[in-house]
A and B are shown apart, each in its own frame.
Chain A
Protein backbone atom coordinates (compact mmCIF):
# COMPACT_ATOMS: atom_id res chain seq x y z
CA UNK A 1 0.00 0.00 0.00
CA UNK A 2 1.39 3.40 -1.00
CA UNK A 3 0.63 6.13 1.53
CA UNK A 4 0.10 9.75 0.54
CA UNK A 5 2.83 10.64 2.99
CA UNK A 6 4.94 8.84 5.57
CA UNK A 7 3.41 8.09 8.94
CA UNK A 8 5.45 7.59 12.10
CA UNK A 9 4.50 5.81 15.31
CA UNK A 10 5.22 8.47 17.94
CA UNK A 11 4.50 6.31 20.97
CA UNK A 12 2.99 3.01 22.04
CA UNK A 13 1.27 1.88 25.22
CA UNK A 14 -0.22 -1.33 26.53
CA UNK A 15 -1.62 -2.58 29.81
CA UNK A 16 -0.60 -5.92 31.25
CA UNK A 17 -2.81 -8.79 30.07
CA UNK A 18 -4.77 -10.25 32.97
CA UNK A 19 -8.01 -10.33 34.92
CA UNK A 20 -8.44 -6.71 35.88
CA UNK A 21 -10.86 -5.05 38.27
CA UNK A 22 -10.63 -1.79 36.34
CA UNK A 23 -13.16 -1.32 33.58
CA UNK A 24 -12.34 -0.99 29.89
CA UNK A 25 -12.16 2.82 29.96
CA UNK A 26 -9.56 2.86 32.75
CA UNK A 27 -7.44 0.32 30.88
CA UNK A 28 -7.89 2.16 27.58
CA UNK A 29 -6.95 5.48 29.15
CA UNK A 30 -3.85 3.95 30.75
CA UNK A 31 -2.69 2.51 27.45
CA UNK A 32 -3.44 5.77 25.65
CA UNK A 33 -1.58 7.83 28.22
CA UNK A 34 1.36 5.44 28.16
CA UNK A 35 1.55 5.99 24.40
CA UNK A 36 1.35 9.74 24.91
CA UNK A 37 4.13 9.67 27.54
CA UNK A 38 6.17 7.48 25.22
CA UNK A 39 6.00 10.25 22.60
CA UNK A 40 6.81 13.96 22.59
CA UNK A 41 3.13 14.84 22.82
CA UNK A 42 2.71 16.89 25.99
CA UNK A 43 -0.60 18.74 25.66
CA UNK A 44 -4.18 17.48 25.11
CA UNK A 45 -4.69 19.82 22.15
CA UNK A 46 -1.83 18.31 20.15
CA UNK A 47 -3.81 15.18 19.24
CA UNK A 48 -6.23 15.96 16.42
CA UNK A 49 -8.35 12.83 16.17
CA UNK A 50 -8.97 9.69 18.18
CA UNK A 51 -10.34 6.28 17.23
CA UNK A 52 -11.47 3.69 19.76
CA UNK A 53 -12.21 0.03 19.17
CA UNK A 54 -14.47 -1.78 21.64
CA UNK A 55 -17.13 -4.43 21.19
CA UNK A 56 -19.11 -4.86 24.35
CA UNK A 57 -19.50 -1.63 26.28
CA UNK A 58 -22.24 0.05 24.34
CA UNK A 59 -22.44 3.77 23.68
CA UNK A 60 -19.74 6.46 23.67
CA UNK A 61 -16.88 4.15 24.64
CA UNK A 62 -14.18 6.37 23.14
CA UNK A 63 -15.62 9.50 24.69
CA UNK A 64 -15.55 7.71 28.07
CA UNK A 65 -11.86 6.98 27.62
CA UNK A 66 -10.82 10.43 26.42
CA UNK A 67 -12.99 12.73 28.52
CA UNK A 68 -10.57 12.50 31.45
CA UNK A 69 -7.63 13.29 29.19
CA UNK A 70 -9.15 16.66 28.35
CA UNK A 71 -9.70 15.81 24.72
CA UNK A 72 -13.48 16.03 24.41
CA UNK A 73 -14.73 19.05 22.57
CA UNK A 74 -11.30 19.47 21.00
CA UNK A 75 -11.02 16.47 18.71
CA UNK A 76 -13.36 14.07 16.97
CA UNK A 77 -13.52 10.83 18.96
CA UNK A 78 -14.77 8.09 16.67
CA UNK A 79 -15.81 4.65 17.86
CA UNK A 80 -15.28 1.59 15.69
CA UNK A 81 -16.26 -2.02 16.18
CA UNK A 82 -15.15 -5.17 14.37
CA UNK A 83 -14.98 -7.78 17.15
CA UNK A 84 -11.42 -9.06 17.73
CA UNK A 85 -9.91 -6.63 15.23
CA UNK A 86 -11.56 -3.46 16.62
CA UNK A 87 -8.30 -2.16 18.12
CA UNK A 88 -6.34 -2.81 14.94
CA UNK A 89 -9.06 -1.02 12.99
CA UNK A 90 -8.82 2.00 15.32
CA UNK A 91 -5.06 2.20 14.76
CA UNK A 92 -5.57 1.79 11.01
CA UNK A 93 -7.92 4.78 10.94
CA UNK A 94 -5.50 6.90 12.97
CA UNK A 95 -2.76 6.08 10.45
CA UNK A 96 -5.10 6.93 7.56
CA UNK A 97 -5.90 10.37 9.03
CA UNK A 98 -2.19 11.23 9.08
CA UNK A 99 -1.35 9.52 5.78
CA UNK A 100 -4.02 11.52 3.96
CA UNK A 101 -2.86 14.78 5.49
CA UNK A 102 -6.17 15.30 7.24
CA UNK A 103 -4.46 15.35 10.66
CA UNK A 104 -0.90 15.70 11.93
CA UNK A 105 -1.33 13.58 15.07
CA UNK A 106 -3.96 10.92 15.63
CA UNK A 107 -4.40 8.17 18.21
CA UNK A 108 -5.95 4.70 17.91
CA UNK A 109 -6.88 2.64 20.97
CA UNK A 110 -8.47 -0.74 21.55
CA UNK A 111 -9.95 -1.42 25.00
CA UNK A 112 -11.99 -4.25 26.46
CA UNK A 113 -12.32 -5.97 29.81
CA UNK A 114 -13.86 -9.39 29.33
CA UNK A 115 -13.73 -10.21 33.03
CA UNK A 116 -16.15 -7.42 33.88
CA UNK A 117 -18.87 -8.13 31.35
CA UNK A 118 -22.26 -9.41 32.34
CA UNK A 119 -21.54 -12.25 29.92
CA UNK A 120 -18.31 -13.23 31.70
CA UNK A 121 -17.86 -16.97 31.69
CA UNK A 122 -19.64 -17.32 28.37
CA UNK A 123 -18.44 -17.02 24.79
CA UNK A 124 -19.41 -14.21 22.44
CA UNK A 125 -21.77 -14.85 19.55
CA UNK A 126 -21.51 -12.98 16.26
CA UNK A 127 -24.16 -10.30 15.67
CA UNK A 128 -27.13 -10.92 17.93
CA UNK A 129 -30.09 -12.14 15.90
CA UNK A 130 -27.71 -13.60 13.32
CA UNK A 131 -28.94 -17.00 12.13
CA UNK A 132 -25.69 -18.73 13.06
CA UNK A 133 -25.76 -17.06 16.48
CA UNK A 134 -29.30 -18.35 17.01
CA UNK A 135 -27.99 -21.85 16.30
CA UNK A 136 -25.26 -21.59 18.93
CA UNK A 137 -22.34 -20.02 17.06
CA UNK A 138 -19.63 -18.36 19.13
CA UNK A 139 -16.57 -16.62 17.71
CA UNK A 140 -14.14 -18.99 19.45
CA UNK A 141 -16.09 -21.96 18.09
CA UNK A 142 -15.70 -20.69 14.55
CA UNK A 143 -11.93 -20.33 14.98
CA UNK A 144 -11.89 -23.80 16.48
CA UNK A 145 -13.67 -25.21 13.41
CA UNK A 146 -11.08 -23.60 11.18
CA UNK A 147 -8.27 -25.16 13.22
CA UNK A 148 -9.99 -28.56 13.26
CA UNK A 149 -10.36 -28.53 9.47
CA UNK A 150 -6.74 -27.43 9.06
CA UNK A 151 -5.56 -30.34 11.21
CA UNK A 152 -7.82 -32.71 9.27
CA UNK A 153 -6.48 -31.61 5.89
CA UNK A 154 -2.81 -31.32 6.74
CA UNK A 155 -2.22 -33.85 9.50
CA UNK A 156 -1.04 -31.06 11.80
CA UNK A 157 -1.45 -31.63 15.54
CA UNK A 158 -2.53 -29.38 18.41
CA UNK A 159 1.14 -29.25 19.42
CA UNK A 160 1.98 -27.89 15.96
CA UNK A 161 -0.57 -25.10 16.41
CA UNK A 162 0.81 -24.34 19.88
CA UNK A 163 4.21 -23.75 18.30
CA UNK A 164 2.76 -20.71 16.54
CA UNK A 165 2.21 -18.93 19.82
CA UNK A 166 5.61 -20.04 21.06
CA UNK A 167 7.19 -18.55 17.94
CA UNK A 168 5.14 -15.34 18.23
CA UNK A 169 6.20 -14.78 21.81
CA UNK A 170 9.83 -15.05 20.77
CA UNK A 171 9.50 -12.34 18.14
CA UNK A 172 10.86 -8.95 19.26
CA UNK A 173 7.72 -7.17 18.06
CA UNK A 174 5.53 -8.94 20.62
CA UNK A 175 7.96 -8.48 23.48
CA UNK A 176 6.12 -5.58 24.94
CA UNK A 177 6.38 -5.18 28.71
CA UNK A 178 2.69 -6.11 29.09
CA UNK A 179 3.08 -9.47 27.46
CA UNK A 180 6.44 -10.15 28.97
CA UNK A 181 5.27 -9.74 32.56
CA UNK A 182 2.67 -12.50 32.41
CA UNK A 183 3.98 -14.76 29.73
CA UNK A 184 4.49 -18.40 30.59
CA UNK A 185 7.46 -18.11 28.24
CA UNK A 186 9.19 -15.56 30.48
CA UNK A 187 12.27 -17.75 30.73
CA UNK A 188 12.62 -17.61 26.95
CA UNK A 189 12.90 -13.83 27.07
CA UNK A 190 15.41 -14.04 29.86
CA UNK A 191 17.64 -16.32 27.83
CA UNK A 192 18.76 -13.41 25.70
Chain B
Protein backbone atom coordinates (compact mmCIF):
# COMPACT_ATOMS: atom_id res chain seq x y z
CA UNK B 1 0.00 0.00 0.00
CA UNK B 2 1.43 3.37 -1.01
CA UNK B 3 1.49 6.36 1.28
CA UNK B 4 -1.09 8.07 -0.94
CA UNK B 5 -3.73 5.33 -0.63
CA UNK B 6 -3.05 5.06 3.08
CA UNK B 7 -3.83 8.75 3.41
CA UNK B 8 -6.96 8.39 1.32
CA UNK B 9 -8.18 5.59 3.57
CA UNK B 10 -7.73 7.76 6.63
CA UNK B 11 -9.58 10.67 5.05
CA UNK B 12 -12.80 8.63 5.18
CA UNK B 13 -12.80 8.68 8.96
CA UNK B 14 -15.06 11.31 10.58
CA UNK B 15 -13.45 14.73 10.39
CA UNK B 16 -13.59 16.19 13.91
CA UNK B 17 -12.79 19.65 12.60
CA UNK B 18 -16.05 19.71 10.59
CA UNK B 19 -18.87 20.53 12.97
CA UNK B 20 -21.80 18.38 11.82
CA UNK B 21 -22.58 16.61 8.53
CA UNK B 22 -26.33 16.77 9.28
CA UNK B 23 -26.24 20.57 9.04
CA UNK B 24 -24.01 21.49 6.15
CA UNK B 25 -22.98 19.85 2.90
CA UNK B 26 -19.78 20.95 1.21
CA UNK B 27 -19.85 19.00 -2.09
CA UNK B 28 -16.55 17.45 -3.09
CA UNK B 29 -17.09 18.46 -6.73
CA UNK B 30 -16.65 22.10 -5.77
CA UNK B 31 -20.30 23.09 -6.24
CA UNK B 32 -21.59 25.59 -3.66
CA UNK B 33 -22.15 24.37 -0.09
CA UNK B 34 -25.69 24.25 1.24
CA UNK B 35 -27.54 23.82 4.51
CA UNK B 36 -29.67 20.73 4.87
CA UNK B 37 -33.35 21.12 5.67
CA UNK B 38 -35.47 18.12 6.55
CA UNK B 39 -39.07 17.90 5.34
CA UNK B 40 -41.48 15.67 7.25
CA UNK B 41 -42.93 13.07 4.86
CA UNK B 42 -46.21 13.00 6.79
CA UNK B 43 -47.13 16.66 7.45
CA UNK B 44 -44.69 18.50 5.21
CA UNK B 45 -43.15 20.68 7.91
CA UNK B 46 -39.63 21.78 7.07
CA UNK B 47 -37.07 21.80 9.87
CA UNK B 48 -33.49 22.81 10.42
CA UNK B 49 -31.49 21.29 12.01
CA UNK B 50 -32.28 17.62 11.47
CA UNK B 51 -34.66 16.09 13.98
CA UNK B 52 -35.48 12.48 14.66
CA UNK B 53 -39.12 13.17 15.44
CA UNK B 54 -41.31 15.78 13.75
CA UNK B 55 -42.40 18.20 16.51
CA UNK B 56 -45.61 18.91 14.58
CA UNK B 57 -46.95 15.39 13.96
CA UNK B 58 -44.48 12.99 15.60
CA UNK B 59 -43.68 11.28 12.32
CA UNK B 60 -40.19 9.86 12.02
CA UNK B 61 -39.80 9.99 8.24
CA UNK B 62 -37.97 12.91 6.62
CA UNK B 63 -36.44 13.83 3.31
CA UNK B 64 -33.43 16.10 3.02
CA UNK B 65 -34.01 19.37 1.16
CA UNK B 66 -31.09 21.68 0.26
CA UNK B 67 -31.92 25.13 1.68
CA UNK B 68 -31.54 28.52 0.00
CA UNK B 69 -28.09 30.00 0.22
CA UNK B 70 -29.40 33.53 0.67
CA UNK B 71 -31.56 35.06 3.35
CA UNK B 72 -32.32 38.23 5.29
CA UNK B 73 -30.65 39.10 8.57
CA UNK B 74 -33.49 39.16 11.13
CA UNK B 75 -31.27 40.42 13.93
CA UNK B 76 -27.67 40.30 15.09
CA UNK B 77 -25.48 40.95 18.12
CA UNK B 78 -21.85 42.05 18.36
CA UNK B 79 -20.40 39.81 21.08
CA UNK B 80 -17.63 41.43 23.11
CA UNK B 81 -18.04 39.18 26.14
CA UNK B 82 -18.36 35.73 24.66
CA UNK B 83 -18.39 32.15 25.71
CA UNK B 84 -15.58 30.79 27.78
CA UNK B 85 -12.68 29.94 25.46
CA UNK B 86 -13.93 31.88 22.44
CA UNK B 87 -11.96 34.73 20.97
CA UNK B 88 -13.86 38.03 20.96
CA UNK B 89 -15.26 40.07 19.41
CA UNK B 90 -17.46 38.02 17.14
CA UNK B 91 -20.90 38.51 15.62
CA UNK B 92 -23.97 36.27 15.80
CA UNK B 93 -27.32 36.61 14.08
CA UNK B 94 -30.60 35.07 13.03
CA UNK B 95 -31.17 34.63 9.29
CA UNK B 96 -34.62 34.31 7.76
CA UNK B 97 -34.56 31.99 4.75
CA UNK B 98 -37.21 32.11 1.99
CA UNK B 99 -38.36 28.66 3.19
CA UNK B 100 -39.76 30.36 6.33
CA UNK B 101 -36.93 29.10 8.51
CA UNK B 102 -35.03 31.29 10.98
CA UNK B 103 -31.50 30.03 11.45
CA UNK B 104 -28.96 30.99 14.07
CA UNK B 105 -25.49 31.59 12.69
CA UNK B 106 -22.18 33.16 13.39
CA UNK B 107 -21.69 36.07 11.00
CA UNK B 108 -18.53 36.65 9.01
CA UNK B 109 -17.67 40.35 9.03
CA UNK B 110 -16.68 43.23 11.29
CA UNK B 111 -18.48 44.15 14.50
CA UNK B 112 -20.61 47.23 14.01
CA UNK B 113 -21.11 46.51 10.31
CA UNK B 114 -24.42 44.62 10.26
CA UNK B 115 -28.01 45.89 9.99
CA UNK B 116 -31.39 44.17 10.36
CA UNK B 117 -32.98 43.03 7.08
CA UNK B 118 -29.70 43.03 5.18
CA UNK B 119 -29.20 40.37 2.51
CA UNK B 120 -26.76 37.71 3.67
CA UNK B 121 -25.46 34.53 2.08
CA UNK B 122 -24.09 31.22 3.24
CA UNK B 123 -20.37 30.76 3.62
CA UNK B 124 -18.16 28.20 5.29
CA UNK B 125 -15.53 29.03 7.87
CA UNK B 126 -14.15 28.51 11.36
CA UNK B 127 -16.62 28.94 14.23
CA UNK B 128 -14.30 28.13 17.15
CA UNK B 129 -11.26 26.10 18.08
CA UNK B 130 -11.42 22.49 19.20
CA UNK B 131 -9.56 21.22 22.27
CA UNK B 132 -6.37 20.85 20.26
CA UNK B 133 -6.51 24.45 19.06
CA UNK B 134 -7.56 23.44 15.54
CA UNK B 135 -10.38 25.46 13.92
CA UNK B 136 -13.79 23.78 13.69
CA UNK B 137 -15.47 24.47 10.36
CA UNK B 138 -19.19 25.06 10.02
CA UNK B 139 -21.72 27.23 8.24
CA UNK B 140 -21.64 30.99 8.63
CA UNK B 141 -23.38 33.86 6.90
CA UNK B 142 -21.86 37.02 5.44
CA UNK B 143 -23.11 40.09 3.61
CA UNK B 144 -23.99 39.44 -0.02
CA UNK B 145 -20.92 40.54 -1.94
CA UNK B 146 -21.20 43.15 -4.68
Interface residues of A (CB under 8 A from B): 118-119, 121-125, 131-138, 140-142, 144-146, 148-149, 152
> Nearest CB to that of A148 among chain B residues?
B75
In the bound complex, do residue B77 and residue A141 qualify as a contact, i.e. CB atoms below 8 Å apart?
yes
Interface residues of B (CB under 8 A from A): 19-20, 23, 49, 74-77, 79, 81-86, 90, 92-94, 104-106, 115-117, 127-128, 136, 138
> Nearest CB to that of A119 among chain B residues?
B84
- Chain B residues with CB below 8 A from A118, complex form: 84
In the bound complex, do residue B117 and residue A134 qualify as a contact, i.e. CB atoms below 8 Å apart?
no
In the bound complex, do residue A145 and residue B23 qualify as a contact, i.e. CB atoms below 8 Å apart?
no
Which among B49, B76, B82, B105 is the interface contact of A123 at CB below 8 angstroms?
A: B82
> Known contacts A122-B82, A134-B19; can you find 10 more A-B pairs with CB under 8 A?
A118-B84, A123-B82, A131-B23, A131-B49, A136-B86, A136-B92, A145-B77, A145-B92, A148-B75, A148-B76
In the bound complex, do residue A149 and residue B19 qualify as a contact, i.e. CB atoms below 8 Å apart?
no
In the bound complex, do residue B116 and residue A134 qualify as a contact, i.e. CB atoms below 8 Å apart?
no
In the bound complex, do residue A122 and residue B81 qualify as a contact, i.e. CB atoms below 8 Å apart?
yes
In the bound complex, do residue A149 and residue B81 qualify as a contact, i.e. CB atoms below 8 Å apart?
no
Which among A121, A137, A142, A152 is the interface contact of B81 at CB below 8 angstroms?
A: A121
* A141 to B85 Cα, complex, angstroms: 16
A89: shortest Cβ distance to chain B, in Å?
Answer: 23
In the bound complex, do residue B117 and residue A152 qualify as a contact, i.e. CB atoms below 8 Å apart?
yes
Contacts across chains A and B counted by CB atoms under 8 Å:
72
Q: Are A149 and B116 also in contact (CB < 8 A) when A121-B81, A123-B79, A131-B23 are?
A: yes
A157: shortest Cβ distance to chain B, in Å?
Answer: 15
- Chain A residues with CB below 8 A from B83, complex form: 122-125, 133, 136, 138
A141: shortest Cβ distance to chain B, in Å?
Answer: 4
- Chain B residues with CB below 8 A from A140, complex form: 81
Residue of B90, B116, B138 most packed against chain A (CB within 10 A) = B116
A118: shortest Cβ distance to chain B, in Å?
Answer: 8
> Nearest CB to that of A151 among chain B residues?
B116
In the bound complex, do residue B93 and residue A138 qualify as a contact, i.e. CB atoms below 8 Å apart?
no
In the bound complex, do residue B106 and residue A145 qualify as a contact, i.e. CB atoms below 8 Å apart?
no
- Chain B residues with CB below 8 A from A144, complex form: 77
In the bound complex, do residue A138 and residue B117 qualify as a contact, i.e. CB atoms below 8 Å apart?
no
- Chain A residues with CB below 8 A from B76, complex form: 145, 148
> Nearest CB to that of A131 among chain B residues?
B49
B49: shortest Cβ distance to chain A, in Å?
Answer: 6
In the bound complex, do residue A136 and residue B82 qualify as a contact, i.e. CB atoms below 8 Å apart?
yes
